[in-house]
Structure 1
Amino acid sequence: MGSPLIPPRPVGSTGLEISRIGFGGAPLGDLRRAPTDAGARELLEAAWDAGIRYFDTAPFYGAGLSERRIGDFLRDKPRDSYVLSTKVGRLLIPDRAFAMERHGDPRSLPFRPKFDFSYDGVMRSYENSLQRLGLESIDILFLHDIGAFSQRERHAETMAQALEGGGILALEELRAAGAVKAIGAGVNEWQIIDELMNHARFDIFLLANRYTLLDQQVIDTLLPRVEREGVAIVDGAPLNSGILATGPVPNAIYDYAQASPEMIEKTRRIEALCSKHGTTLIRAALNFPLGHSAITAIIPGFSNVAEFNDNLAGYRKPIPDALWAELREAGLLHPNAPGPVTPILA
């Protein structure tokens, strides 16, 4: 699914097509970034009008708030006009005290997330998402935050739930029954994708923070394999959770934590070369991932219409090939990292 403005790409052999620029739904669950229902709807309308037809969400984003807002928006759209992905692996347990302690906002939905990658947990999460969305179907279902990066000391336990406890089997059954069209995982580390692919046939993965202007190690590791096996990659968190948007400011955030002095200095050098070639750091960061043939789509997270319009405008401006060449020569970009053909959008 897509539009002439944002051409779609196929998702393996599933028959699905997703617009190369998608909508990352995490900010819609954050009352600091998208505080009102009206503001969230205005943002979704701007994305739709711009031609975005791929929307990603998850129960974890605002304890169901993102799913509710996206479902409310998509409900009157023809079901074959968009692609929707959400995630399993966390159940939402009623707990207002937890929500207030965590968010300090009485508008926060009164739930506490609980990891559960078992067969029953996946099936229950899927059914609950349908109810929160108020939609008859979900196209893509991702295991959310499985792997050592997110699970840490729970890694062995949660992997056992997915493998021995039937979580992956549940995904496969939902796909076989036609309840979903594609299955995968939404994660922050390429290694868990490589491991999961040894256990089942997956269609698509959402990989956050791992193919960006600051990190391209997957060129030598994961991307060759997914291309060989026809698996799609959605590039999430292309701004490395902050630093590629803010630039090398004090206390900049990289991978959800304060950036190291070395990472701030690397970002400073990249930003200087972007400026030299007449572009901005954030524009280069949002365009860069789409240069690789393994990246099917990118899903930036937008907080408001002004931010959305500004970012979209960045896809309509050319970026000189000389920038990518000089970044490689300076050792700031992987020597085999292809630059995108810009402008991405006409």
Structure 2
Amino acid sequence: MSGNPSRSRIGFASRLGFGASGIGTLYRDVSEAQAADVLTKAYDGGMRYFDSAPLYGHGLSEHRLGSFLRTIDRKTVTVSTKVGRYMVPPYGEMVNYGLWASPLRLKPVFDYSYAGTMRSLEQSASRLGIADFDLIYIHDVDRFTYGDAYERRFNEAIEGCYRALDDLRKAGHIKAIGIGVNEGDVATRFVKACSLDAVMMAGRYTLLDRGAEADLLPEAKRQGVEIVVAGVFNSGILAAGPGNSGTTFDYGAPPDDVVIRAKAIEAICNRYGVPLQAAAIQFPFRNPQVSAAVLGMSRPERIAQNLGWAELSIPDELWGEIEQLFEPVRR
């Protein structure tokens, strides 16, 4: 498939995006008032890209984001959500709510079929209160989620999910199609298999983990596909710092080699008087293929903090020293 860099449909309203998983009560409960406050502060601070998903709080995140969107001019923001799951009443069935502290008591159903995709989007439109979407990501079609069933799910997503979204894009009902996964080779496979506008890559193009450099970034450049990075803190280790005893990497205990590399990066940042978090937020934008970075936040005070880190001046020498840490890995 030939690439066409000029076909981008997205035009993100801001490069720094608000990831709405936190207001869906990821890890901790968040009140309605707090969710409204953090969304307002993000918008007032200049964040104009908002991303959610049906999974986040089992619909709660989209509900809360939708309430906020009805208070502003829709034309001022970019809104994205995801497909691959829809919600149903559990009717007495036990539901594993996983990392969500206080979600809606609904059961997620995986479905990458054409009809399932349409059903997912209809539910999202109702929760968000909008009829048009700037960007829809096909969500979590990866080995981590599906294990041995990955190959079957990939084919389902191409034949069902992508075909439905492509029809909607051709009809002008959605502007752009993306894939949202945590595995670079899986994202690369999607980029080669269908005409995508964007890839949301979580955790694989960060200050600490450059996995996407091997396959995804070169292929995305060839195909003219924009990159949206998520998980810039690698789930915690670059936010709390590698010395924190409770820190996580990819939602689990960090391996020893990751801790060693993180401490080396932190030492470089300390020598230049640059917060580790600022370097983590700014690193992906050093690659021109990256159009936006999505930060998950649920506490109002984090908005100003993250915006400040995003604007902090960082000397080129710091980046040069960090690059040297990765040279042995590249060789």
Measure the CA separation in 1 of the matches of 2:260 and 2:246: 13
Write the distance in 2 (CA, Å) between the matches of 1:11 and 1:158: 30
Distance 1:15 1:129, change over 3 A: closer
| Superposed displacement of residue 274, structure 1 | 0.6
Answering whether residue 152 of structure 2 is matched by residue 157 of structure 1, we say yes
Q: Report the TM-score when normalising by structure 2.
A: 0.91
Q: 1:187 aligns with which of 181, 191, 194?
A: 181
Q: Residue 334 and residue 291 in structure 1: after superposition, are their counterparts in 2 closer, same or farther (change >3 A)?
A: farther
Determine which structure has the larger helix proportion and give its number.
2
Q: Conserved in 2, the CA contact under 8 Å of 1:100 and 1:108? A: no
Mapped to 2, the partners of 1:152 and 1:172 lie a distance apart of: 27
Distance 1:252 1:102, change over 3 A: closer
Higher relative contact order (CA 8 A, sep 6+): 2
Matched, 1:76 2:71: yes
Residues 185/89 of structure 1: CA separation in 2 closer, same or farther (3 Å cut): same
Pick aligned residue for 2:285 from 290, 309, 315:
290
1:154 CA displacement: 2.2
Q: 1:79 to 1:334 in 2, by over 3 A?
A: farther
Equivalent-residue separation in structure 1 for 2:99 and 2:322 (angstroms): 41
Give the 3-state SS of the residue equivalent to 2:86 in structure 1. Answer: strand
Matched, 1:328 2:323: yes
Could you tell which deviates more after superposition, 75-84 or 60-69?
75-84
Q: Contact (CA 8 Å) 1:119, 1:167: kept in 2 or not?
A: yes
Contact conserved, 1:252 with 1:264, CA < 8 A, in 2?
A: no
Alignment length, in residue pairs? 325
Percent identity of the aligned residues? 38
2:241 matches 1:260: no
- Opposite residue 75 of structure 1, the aligned amino acid is R
Note if contact 1:150-1:188 (Cα within 8 Å) is conserved in structure 2. Answer: no
Residue 229 of structure 2 corresponds to 235
Specify the code of the residue in structure 1 equivalent to 2:52: T
Q: Quickly say closer, same or farther: Cα 1:16–1:329, change in 2 above 3 A.
A: closer
Measure the CA separation in 1 of the matches of 2:158 and 2:293: 28
Partner of 2:82: 87
- For 1:45 and 1:141, locate their aligned partners in 2 and report how far apart those are by CA, in whole Å: 23
Structure 1 gap segments, 5+ residues each = 1-9, 337-346
Q: Does the CA contact (< 8 Å) of 1:98 and 1:110 recur in 2?
A: no
1:17-50 superposed Cα distances (whole Å, 9 cap, x missing partner)? 3311011111010165451111011101111111
Deviation of the 1:191 alpha carbon: 1.0
Q: Given the superposition, is the C-alpha separation of residues 100 and 213 from structure 1 closer, same or farther in structure 2, using an over 3 Å criterion?
A: closer
Quote the Cα distance in structure 2 between the aligned partners of 1:305 and 1:232.
29
* Matches for 1:59-138 after TM superposition, within 5 Å: 59-95=54-90, 98-99=94-95, 102=98, 108-138=103-133
Pick closer, same or farther for the CA change 1:138–1:98 going to 2, 3 Å. farther
Runs (4+) of structure 1 exceeding 6 A deviation are 332-336
Corresponding residue to 1:58 among 33, 36, 53: 53
> Is contact 1:11-1:231 (8 Å) kept?
no
TM (normalized to structure 1)? Answer: 0.88
Q: What 5-or-longer segments of structure 2 have no aligned partner?
A: none
Give the drift of 1:139. 1.4
- Seen in structure 2, the aligned counterparts of structure 1 residues 298 and 82 have a Cα distance that, compared at 3 Å, is same
- The residue that corresponds to 1:176 in the other structure is 170
Distance 2:78 2:84 in 1: 21
Alpha-carbon distance in 2 for matches of 1:11, 1:21: 22
